Amino acid sequence: MNSKKKKERINYAGFTLLEMLVVLLIISVLILLFVPNLSKHKEGVDKKGNEAIVKIVETQIDLYTMEKNQIPTVEQLVKEQYITQDQYDKYQANKK
């Protein structure tokens, strides 16, 4: 009779193998859904960043023209520190 009471009191704590597999399956599916979307967003952000650089350089050209009454080259903008060398490089790579 004593052993019967002991068996009834035993509580099993933790997860079964099946429960762990279900959780891993759900996490895997979520990762498969989100990773392609993240790469698409990264491409969109890069494109918008490149468009912003082109706009910055064009704005600086307008500003230089208004201040000095002559249209500068992009190299002049770098030389006179209207834009940085990094902006110049990105502009050259992305100008239309």
75 — pLDDT class (breaks 50, 70, 90): very high
Residue 43 vs residues 54, 75, 92: alpha-carbon distances, Å: 17, 28, 19
pLDDT of residue 69: 93
- Each domain of the chain, given as residue ranges in start order, spans 37-95
Q: Return the percentage of the chain with pLDDT > 90, whole number.
A: 53
pLDDT of residue 9: 59
H runs (alpha helix) in 1-96 = 2-9, 17-68, 74-79, 85-94
Predicted confidence (pLDDT) at residue 21 exceeds the cutoff of 90:
yes
List of residues 6+ apart from 77 with CB closer than 8 A? 57, 60, 61, 64, 83, 88
φ/ψ (deg, to 5) at 19: -65, -40
